[in-house]
C-alpha cells in the first residue's frame, strides 16, 4: 500500500510569532484578559501588606498609607483598577457561555445569567463601601 | 492505567477565584488604593479598621479574598506564558512558580489573619 503522505514532510508546523496576539483585536482582548491576572495578584499582595501593617500597629499602618500615596504605587493601582474591572466585565459576560442553563428546552437568555452577576457586584460593592465608610 | 489529571480541580479553583476577584477586588482597590490615598473619601480610622479585621467573619472573608484570586492568577498566568509568550520548554518550572506561589500566598494570608492581635 502506498502511503500518500510518504513524500510529504512528516510534520508541518508554521512558526507562530511570539506576538501573534497583537495582530487582531479579539486576540489582543484575550491576552489583556489573561494579563489581568497579574494585577489581581498585585491587589492581593497589597491587601496582605495592609493586613500585616494593621497587625503591627498604628505607626506601621500610617507608613503603609503613605506608601499608597507614592505616585508609582498610585499609577500601578490606577492601571490595576482598569484591569480588574475589565476582568469583572469579561467574566460576567462569559458566565452565560460557561453555564448554558436550559429551561423547558429553551436556553436561558444571556442576560438572565449575566444580569444577576452584575446585580451581585453592585450589592456587594455597596455593602463593602457601607461597612468601611459609615460613622 | 490512565493518569488522573489535576486539571478539573485547578480549573475549579481558577473559576472560583475569578468570581471572587470580579465581585470583591474592584471595590477594595477603588477604596484603599485610590479613593482614600487621593482624599476623595475619608479613610476609616486605624481603630475602626482593626476592630473590623478582628471579627472572625472578616478574617474568613479576607482569607477567601486573598487565597482564591491567587489560584485564579496561577492558572491564567501559566497559560499567558504558555500561549502568549510560548514559553513551553519551561512548563514544569512555570507550574511550580504559579501554583507554588498561590499556595505560599494562601499560607501567608492564613498566618497574617490568624495573628491579627
- CB count, 10 Å around CB of A40? 26
Q: Is A3 left (phi over 0), alpha (psi -120 to 50) or beta?
A: beta
Please answer yes or no on whether A81 and B29 come within 8 Å at the CB atom: yes
Q: Does residue B1 register a pLDDT over 60?
A: no
CB distance from B35 to chain A under 8 Å? Answer: no
Please answer yes or no on whether A91 and B108 come within 8 Å at the CB atom: no
Domains of chain A, with CATH numbers? 25-128 (1.20.1300.10)
Q: Does residue A6 register a pLDDT over 70?
A: no
In chain B, where are the structural domains located?
Answer: 9-25+49-114
CB distance from A47 to chain B under 8 Å? Answer: yes
CB distance from B16 to chain A under 8 Å? Answer: no
Phi, psi of B47, rounded to the nearest 5 degrees: -60, -40
Shortest alpha-carbon distance between residue A2 and chain B (Å): 34
Three-class secondary structure assignment of chain A: CCCCCCCCCCCCCCCCCCCHHHCCHHHHHHHHHHHHHHHHHHHHHHHHHHHHHHHHCHHHHHHHHHHHCCHHHHHHHHHHHHHHHHHHHHHHHHHHHHCCCEECCEECCHHHHHHHHHHHHHHHHHHHHHHHHCC
Tell me which CATH code domain B9-25+49-114 carries.
1.20.1300.10
Say how many CB pairs under 8 Å bridge A and B.
151
pLDDT tens digits for B46-104? Answer: 999 999 999 999 999 999 999 999 999 999 999 888 876 777 778 888 999 999 999 99
Residue A108 banded pLDDT, cuts 50, 70, 90: confident
CB distance from A32 to chain B under 8 Å? Answer: no
| pLDDT the model gives residue A37 | 95
Q: Which residue has the higher pLDDT, A118 or B5?
A: A118
Amino acid at each position: 500500500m502506498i502511503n500518500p503522505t510518504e513524500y510529504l514532510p512528516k510534520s508541518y508546523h508554521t512558526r507562530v510569532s511570539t506576538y501573534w496576539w497583537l495582530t487582531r483585536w479579539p486576540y489582543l482582548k484575550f491576552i489583556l484578559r489573561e494579563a489581568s491576572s497579574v494585577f489581581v495578584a498585585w491587589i492581593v499582595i497589597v491587601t496582605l501588606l495592609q493586613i500585616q501593617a494593621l497587625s503591627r500597629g498604628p505607626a506601621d499602618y500610617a507608613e503603609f498609607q503613605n506608601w499608597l500615596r507614592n505616585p508609582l504605587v498610585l499609577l500601578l493601582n490606577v492601571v490595576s483598577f482598569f484591569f480588574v474591572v475589565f476582568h469583572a466585565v469579561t467574566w460576567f459576560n462569559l458566565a452565560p457561555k460557561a453555564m448554558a442553563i436550559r429551561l423547558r428546552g429553551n436556553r436561558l437568555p444571556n442576560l438572565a445569567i449575566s444580569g444577576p452577576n452584575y446585580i451581585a457586584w453592585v450589592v456587594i460593592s455597596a455593602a463593602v463601601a457601607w461597612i468601611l465608610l459609615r460613622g | 492505567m490512565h493518569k488522573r489529571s489535576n486539571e478539573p480541580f485547578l480549573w475549579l479553583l481558577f473559576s472560583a477565584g475569578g468570581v471572587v476577584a470580579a465581585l470583591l477586588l474592584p471595590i477594595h482597590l477603588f477604596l484603599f488604593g485610590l479613593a482614600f490615598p487621593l482624599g476623595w473619601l475619608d479613610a476609616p480610622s486605624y481603630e475602626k479598621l482593626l476592630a473590623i479585621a478582628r471579627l472572625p467573619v472578616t478574617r474568613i472573608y479576607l482569607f477567601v479574598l486573598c487565597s482564591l484570586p491567587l489560584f485564579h492568577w496561577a492558572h491564567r498566568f501559566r497559560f499567558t506564558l504558555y500561549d502568549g509568550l510560548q514559553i513551553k520548554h519551561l512548563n514544569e518550572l512555570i507550574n511550580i512558580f504559579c501554583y507554588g506561589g498561590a499556595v505560599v500566598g494562601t499560607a501567608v494570608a492564613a498566618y497574617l489573619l490568624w495573628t491579627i492581635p
